Amino acid sequence: MNTDNEVMKTSFKTVALIGKYKSPEIVEPLLRLAKFLQGRGVAVLLDRLTASHIPDCPYPVLLLEELGKQADLAIVIGGDGTMLNIARTFAPCDVALVGINQGRLGFLTDISTDTMFETIGAILDGKFVAEDRMLLQAEIISADKRVFDVLAFNDVVISKGAMGSMIEFEVHIDGQHIYTQRSDGLIVATPTGSTAYALSSGGPIVHPSLSVMTLVPVCPHTLSNRPIVISSECTVEIVIQSADDSRAHFDSHSHFELHSGDRVVVRRYSHTINLLHPIGHSYYDMLREKLNWNRE
């Protein structure tokens, strides 16, 4: 990750604008931003779902997968959930991401609509802080066959289902048996995901510059089962032993039902996501703002 004072010298010629799904209210700021970008000599592309809110859309419209191939910068207008979805889709592509939030600033969408012209203008001038964020690649093996394969930006979660019974599973790291656990579930989180579900389950906050994964038990039956931080070079394997109704969740976006004997294998994805922030961006300032630190 670049330091807070580092300025990247680069040029973005084609920019994709992507709005929050099913949110017509993003049309007005999005069109203002598109006009601003055109005034800077930048080619503007829109994704199909965003354009569906704009009658007689004057900009080229593409599917998300095609945007990732043609744009060299994507500006996401929405919240962190929208950014998570776009990050997973664009992960195989070399596309930098910028997040604009219409409401409270998010962990990933840290630019407000009030300052977006000034901030985006500076980014086009090459003045920004860049950081790489890791993703997880997870696969589910059932009866020795891979039946599911997905990416996660925040976390991979094994959890009990609607029946509410604890589940039992084994955890292996790089082929070594670590423990057998009875609990409500287990979270395997990236540094980005450390401030999501893992945080509310008692996991540590992990700086995004670190290349690690965090394993956080959810309501373990044995209190000695504590969170553990491991290298991102490790492979984590979770083997379901006993579960009447267990599921795997990936960023709370994709889901898969699990059965006894199923294995969930999690490792670092080979590509990273490149997030751009304004000059002066501080991860610790963001934590103070989002987590209400030092406030009476």
Indicate which residues carry an active-site annotation: 80
In the structure encoding, which two tokens stand for residue 270, read together? Answer: 């080979």
Do the beta carbons of residue 247 and residue 213 sit within 8 Å?
A: no
Strands 96-101 and 111-112, bridge-based pairing: parallel
Q: Shortest CA distance to 186 belongs to which of 210, 205, 158?
A: 158
The crossing angle, in degrees rounded to 10, of helices 116-124 and 27-39 is 40
Are 133 and 272 within 8 A, CB to CB? yes
What is the per-residue burial (b if ≥16 Cβ within 10 Å, else e) of 192-215? bbbbbbbbebebeebebebebbbb
Query: DSSP characters for 212-243?
Result: EEEEEEES-SSTT---EEEETTS-EEEEEEE-
Element (H, E) at 47: strand 43-47
Residue labelled with tokens 């991979």: 156
- Write the CA distances from 51 to 22, 46, 95, 110, 275, integer angstroms: 11, 6, 20, 23, 24
How big is the CA angle at 97 (ends 64 and 292), to the nearest 5 degrees? 120
